[in-house]
Amino acid sequence: MKNEPAEILFITSYPPRECGIATYSQDLIKALNNKFSNSLSLKVCALESGEADLKYTDEVKYVLKTSLADSYEKLASKINKDDQIKIVLIQHEFGFYIKQENAFLQFLSRISKPVVIVFHTVIANPAEQLKAKIISIAAACEAIIVMTHNSAEILLKDYGLPGDKISVIAHGTHLVPHLNKESLKAKYGIRGRKVLTTFGLLSSGKNIETTLKALPVIIKTNPDVLFLVIGKTHPAEARVFHLHRQDFVFFR
């Protein structure tokens, strides 16, 4: 009898949920399937918040309601009993588990399969409480993935995590034709400017205001700097804005 390919379970937000990590995970799974579909089976446990009831594609095997504490215990039991799952890969962002941080930590300790965690945000100079949480998460995992060497250095120096657990795998992007930046600047009317930019779904957690506050100082020595903020408002932020828009004063 032919052996079934090893299954990796991705625990992540996933389309149709509108979330940058959802899109990232979908792209990553597509790329891995293109190369390793004969040797790996990639399945998803989709993260849902609030009252979401989304319709998923076939690769979604489980759903975790992140706001419900008992959902974590039930999922850990299902994973442990599922002989097909060989590795659990968790996409970590603080906002995913903020309502049930203790349940998430207990969930990690209950999983009997090897766990790999991908930190999408690494905070430098952490407060003691945050440092303790990250150390606890790391201790429950076989391996840690970050997307930049700077993030790896922060985990080493600020959190004291073991270097042999940490791997750097760049975020990556879709392959697109390489266009000359000067011709692009001319096209969009910003010839001769130094461009700073951020892109992706916009939310308060991106701290874009930090760059805005720094711009006057930057412009004093680099008057040709232009800061482009590219992306639409994150759906969760848009809903809050819609509910409370009467509290805002608009300036034109």
Per-residue pLDDT band for 234 (boundaries 50, 70, 90) equals low
Q: How far apart are the C-alpha atoms of 200 and 187, rounded to whole Å?
A: 22
Instruction: Taking residues 208-217, report their average pLDDT.
Output: 88
Q: How far apart are the C-alpha atoms of 122 and 206, rounded to whole Å?
A: 13
Give pLDDT, residue 252.
25
Q: How far apart are the C-alpha atoms of 149 and 132, rounded to whole Å?
A: 22
pLDDT digit string (tens) for 122-170? 999 999 999 999 999 999 999 999 999 999 999 999 999 999 999 999 9
Asked if 158 and 138 count as a contact pair (C-beta separation under 8 A), the reply is no
- Distance between the two ends of the chain, CA-based, in angstroms? 70
Q: What are phi and psi of 77, to 5 degrees?
A: -65, -45
Q: How far apart are the C-alpha atoms of 64 and 123, rounded to whole Å?
A: 25
Give pLDDT, residue 92.
97
Does the structure show a pLDDT above 50 at 249? Answer: no
Does the structure show a pLDDT above 50 at 245? Answer: no
What is the average pLDDT value for the chain, to the nearest integer? 88
Residue 189, sorted as left (phi over 0), alpha (psi -120 to 50) or beta, turns out to be left
Of 251 and 162, the structure prediction assigns the larger pLDDT to 162
Does the structure show a pLDDT above 70 at 237? Answer: no
Does the structure show a pLDDT above 80 at 240? Answer: no
User: In sequence order, what DSSP letters do the residues of 117-183 get, joined into one string?
Assistant: EEES---SS--HHHHHHHHHHHHT-SEEEESSHHHHHHHHHTS---GGGEEE------------HHH
Per-residue pLDDT band for 47 (boundaries 50, 70, 90) equals very high
Instruction: Taking residues 40-55, report their average pLDDT.
Output: 89
Instruction: Taking residues 38-57, report their average pLDDT.
Output: 90
Helix (H, G, I), strand (E, B) or coil at 225: strand
Give pLDDT, residue 244.
39
Q: How far apart are the C-alpha atoms of 50 and 236, rounded to whole Å?
A: 10
Which of 7-11, 19-23, 88-92, 165-169 bottoms out in mean pLDDT, i.e. has the lowest? 19-23
Give pLDDT, residue 112.
97
Residue whose token pair is 């590219």 = 230
Give pLDDT, residue 2.
58
pLDDT digit string (tens) for 166-212? 999 998 877 777 778 888 888 888 898 998 888 776 777 677 888 88
Structural domains of the chain ordered from first start: 6-168 (3.40.50.2000), 181-247 (no CATH)
Give pLDDT, residue 49.
86
The partner residues of 63 in beta bridges, in order of sequence, read 46
Of 214 and 201, the structure prediction assigns the larger pLDDT to 214
Q: How far apart are the C-alpha atoms of 229 and 181, rounded to whole Å?
A: 18
